[in-house]
Each structure stands twice: as C-alpha cells, then as structure tokens.
Structure 1
C-alpha cells in the first residue's frame, strides 16, 4: 500500500515510517521540518518538504505517488504553548488538517489514520480510561484534536471517509535498533529530560508536585513505546476497507508509572544518578492518566512488546548515549 505520512520526519511519524517499510508498505513523507528531522527518514523514502496548508502541492503528491491511505502526525503538541497561542494550534491542527482532508476527498483518497491524544478526555473522574468516556479537553491542544475527531465523524457520514483515531498516552522510547530516537526542541518529555539531567546535559530535572493522592505522591502516567504505537497504526489498515468506517482506540500499556519510578528507572538503566528538584503542582495536571487498551488488543490483535518502564528507557538510553546531540541540524 502507498501510504502518505504527514509529519513523517517527527518523533512518532519517523518511527511509523520505518514500521511501514518493515511491514511491506511504501511510505511517502511530507514534513516541513519545523519540528521534524530529515535524518530521521531513510534516504530511499520519497520526501517532500511541503507545508500541509499548500493544498495544491499536497494534491499533486497524492496523485503522483498513487496514495492509498494517509497517516497524520503533523500537529503542534505543546500544551502550555497552546494555552498562550491558541490561534497557532487552531490554524495548524484544525484548519490545515481540514485542508488536507478536503484535498484527499477531491482526489479520491478516503482512508485516514489520525494521531489523536488522551488530552481529549480532560481530567477524568475515574481510571483507567476507556474510549466511551466523556471528552472534555481543558486546553486548546486537546480541543483541536477533539475538533478533528468530530470533523472525521462528519466526513465519514457525508463522504464515506474511513478513518481511525488513536488516542495516545505518553509516547516514549526509541527504535529498538537505535537507528532513530527522540529529539525535540524544546524538550518536554520526562524520559529524555531525566536522561539529560543524569548526563549533565541539562540542569536537574524538575518534579512538579509531590503531594498527589498516588502511592509516592507524584503523578501517574501511562508510558507506551513509540514502536508499539506505530504497529497499532498499521494493524488498523485492514479495518478501513468499508466506506464510512469510524474507529477510535486508546493506546497505552495500562500500567501507570509515577514520576519517581521513571527517575529510578533512568538511574538504573544509565547507571547514573538523576538529579532533581521538587516543586509545586502544575495547573491542570491530573493525578493519574492511564489507558484501558483492551479494545485495540481485541479488535486489532495489538500487543505491547515493551511492557515495562525499564525496557522503554533502555531503548531511549541507547539512542541518547549514541547521539548526544540528537539529529543535529534539521535540514
């Protein structure tokens, strides 16, 4: 299958490109390299440095590359920034995505796999999260993802678009063979920040909140390996054959891990102490967020390969220790 991966040079997108190739598909990448890295994509993968909002260019790619299905990873995803600059998030995450969908329908491409988020649920009343729980985002980032989910449902009904939206929990880790990994600027993810603190690349890690109603007082989150996420996206392809199919899946391990447990895992794997400071809670941080992913497991046959925080950290450490400067220049 010819698969257009929008945002395919980013963290999750680039890992999915590799998984597509391994599964026998032909990925084609669009990425404007604002956050992505050209080096994260193999040289033999067709690559287009194109803005998603350039509908004419995107339409030509869909036709020229004979695209069968589109995977979308090209969202801005900094929650705090979305609060301070919501228009940036609405124009990129919603407007540009709607433009992509308009071009897809015009060119007869009606299969779509969307990278959504558990942030659409807001602050849930109980755990674990299942797909049927109410969605009440508490920030513009989560709201933009929910807006796209709602648009997809309308397009499925009106135009026969077949789609799957995957609601991620905390994507983490790096490719098992160490070929690619996580390189954000700015970096906000806990595992790479802890690794950098342990190696002295960054100041001591900041722990936000030590008085949560959790076993050790720090937040509980569901860390799921980036390659496991990617495999789920490919497993859903065969479910999208029927026009108008609308699927939603949570993707997580179902095992909550605290901030302290992540710090301990990084220390154990690296053999280095992780220096950290303790501070007050951040506004809007729920005490716990973790998934019930039984729907994905039952319907897609999805299995988590990296089922412990140590196994996830090991892959991250392999990448970071071999690439202390990440991918280097973006272009």
Structure 2
C-alpha cells in the first residue's frame, strides 16, 4: 500500500515525498518531469514518469503500486503566465484533476490531499485571511485551483471521497541540501540567481500602504508544509474528520524589504535592492491565519526567516556549483 504523490519530483513534492517516507508511509511519485527534477526523487522511491492526463498510465500506477491515497500537487503553477496560457492552465489543472479523480473512483481510492493556493483569494480586503474569506481568484491559475476544490467537494457528495485542500502561500527554504526551488517566477530563486550572476535584485514598488512601503506576504518553510501533508494523510487513513480547506499561513507576514535584508545577511553578499515600478495587480498585503491547521494538522511556523533564507541559499548554491 502506498500514497501516490503527483508532481512528486518538484520542489514542494519532493519534500512531501521525503516527509512521507521518513514518517514510515510508503510513497510513489508520478511526474512528467516538465518542471520536476529526476534527481529530487531518491532511488528507493518508485517514479512513474507521465502526466495526470494519461488515464491509462494512472490506472497502471494505481494497480502496480497498490495506491490507497493521493497527494495531488501536479499542475501548471505560474499565475502570471496563466493569463497568457489559460487553456493550457485549465487543461493541466482542471482536466488533469478530473482525470485523476475519475481513476480514483474507478479504483475505489477514497482519500486525497489537494495542493491548492492563496491565489483563490485574489486581492482580499481583510488584514488577515481565514478559510471563511470570500474567494475571488484573479487569474486562470487561481480559478483552476478553486475549481479543483469544487471537484473534490462534488466527489465527496457523489462517491464519498474523503479529502482536504491545503491553501499554500509563499513556500520557501529547503529541508535538504539537494532540494531547491528552481522556479523562474518565485522571489527567492530570482534573488539568488541575480546575486550569483552579479546583478542587483529589485523590489517592485515601495509606496504601498505598509510599514516600510513594500508588499507584505506570508512566507512558510517547505518542511513545515510537508509535515502538514503527512498529518493530513494520517488523519484520512485513520478516518478522522478534516475541514475541506486549510490555510497554511504565518498570521503576521514579512515585507519584501525585510526579505531583502535577510537575504543580504544570509548570503553574506551585501546589496541595496533596486527599486522598480509596481507590478499590476500586486496587493499590498496577503497574510493568513493558520489557526485551523494548527488545531487539526499540528501546523506551526517552526523555522525563522533567517533559517528560511540560509537553508534555501545553501541548497541553491550547491546546485550552482
């Protein structure tokens, strides 16, 4: 018996897989390696290479590895790019999820932990986002994640699917020296790449209505996120109740300027960031409460900002050497 982790060769997925195996829960990875990295999957973990759009491949994976639960992380994850590629985004994230759920139903696999996103909220008009905050996604990516949550809800009604969706905010750091964030769109790798290339990192906008004028966001360590997946899977295996959605947030947030200061200190490369114009659609503040997740999933911010930076830098620098 094993849990299938779709997208398990990615930055977040590989951390989830290692958290599962270290907790004694067998895992198998399904990944088409379009953005995942083969080396992120240890040799003792089965890897099925392919897409969640391939129903026959999914059927074989479920049969050969006796899959009893799914962590679903696979998908197209770039909110900005999704505006230019909406059909691709919906194909990967909506059709792909529907295909996966169909195979789960056919195979009588009734438990799933879904990778959702803070993008379902769009630009919230509250200081602290909770699970009750209205969802108003502003990109095809955010819309596709919300539709994914609806699909799980509807399958619960139809066939008794047991599920929960974890809404991520900004995932950073590294739990292992060989796992790093390779995204071309996330803040940490963008800053690290600039420093490694001898360029000066930039801040987009310094005139927001925040204490230092820069955007405030939730930043959570990837290992803390992975631990929440293990807790959710264990509760589903035990038949214990879970909320349909959980926000994995810090409750207070960090500004972009504070991130830059921590990066200069953590990397040992002093710099003064360049100031660029605001990016359209960037809200001044998105910070979430993690109280429900703390109650049910033992969620906690176990890493400081300094640890987030230092662990991410060690892994990224190792990959560049």
TM-score (norm 1): 0.93
Determine the C-alpha separation between the residues in 2 that align with 1:274 and 1:48.
43
Aligned pair 1:189/2:186, yes or no? yes
Does the aligned pair in 1 maintain the 2:75–2:93 contact within 8 Å? yes
Shift of 1:230: 0.5
- The aligned residue for residue 283 of structure 2 is 286
Verify the 8 A CA contact 1:199 1:272 in the aligned structure 2: no
Q: Deviation at 1:317?
A: 1.1
Q: Does 1:250 align with 2:247?
A: yes
Q: 2:320 is paired with a residue of what secondary structure? A: coil
Give the match's secondary structure for 1:236. helix
1:40-93, CA deviations, whole angstroms, 9 ceiling, x for partnerless residues? Answer: 010110001111111011011111101110011111111111111100100000
Match of 1:264 in 2: 261
Helix, strand or coil at the partner of 1:137: coil
Structure 1 position 2, deviation (Å): 0.9
CA distance in 1, matches of 2:35, 2:192: 21
- Within the candidate set 200, 220, 223, 1:224 is matched to 220
C-alpha contact (below 8 Å) 2:4/2:67 kept by paired residues: yes
Instruction: Give unpaired runs (5+ residues) of structure 2.
Output: none
1:141 is aligned to: 141
Aligned to 2:3: 3
Contact map agreement 1:160 1:243 (CA 8 A) in 2: no
Deviation digits for residues 215-244 of structure 1 (CA, Å, limit 9, x no counterpart): 111100110001100100110123325499
User: For the residues of structure 1 that align with 2:106 and 2:240, how far apart are their CA atoms?
Assistant: 15
Q: TM-score, normalised by structure 2?
A: 0.96
How many residue pairs match? The answer is 320
The answer for the alignment partner of 2:122 in structure 1 is 122
CA offsets, 1:189-210, max 9 Å, x none? 1122222222336x33231111
Aligned residue for 2:163, secondary structure, equals strand
Seen in structure 2, the aligned counterparts of structure 1 residues 244 and 223 have a Cα distance that, compared at 3 Å, is closer
Matched position secondary structure for 1:232: helix
Structure 1 vs Structure 2 CA RMSD: 1.5
How far apart are 1:110 and its partner, in Å? Answer: 0.8
**In 2, are the aligned partners of 1:159 and 1:244 still within 8 Å (CA)?**
no
Equivalent residue in structure 2 for 1:309, among 289, 305, 311: 305
Indicate the SS of the match to 1:68: strand
Contact 1:160 1:245 in 2 (8 A): no
Say whether 1:235 aligns with 2:231: yes
Shift of 1:245: 6.0
Question: Partners in 1 of 2:311 and 2:209 — Cα distance?
Answer: 30
On the 8 A contact 1:198/1:267 being kept in 2, the answer is no
**Is the alpha carbon distance of 1:104 and 1:244 closer, same or farther for their aligned partners in structure 2, counting shifts above 3 Å?**
farther
Instruction: Name structure 1 gaps, 5 residues minimum.
Output: 326-331
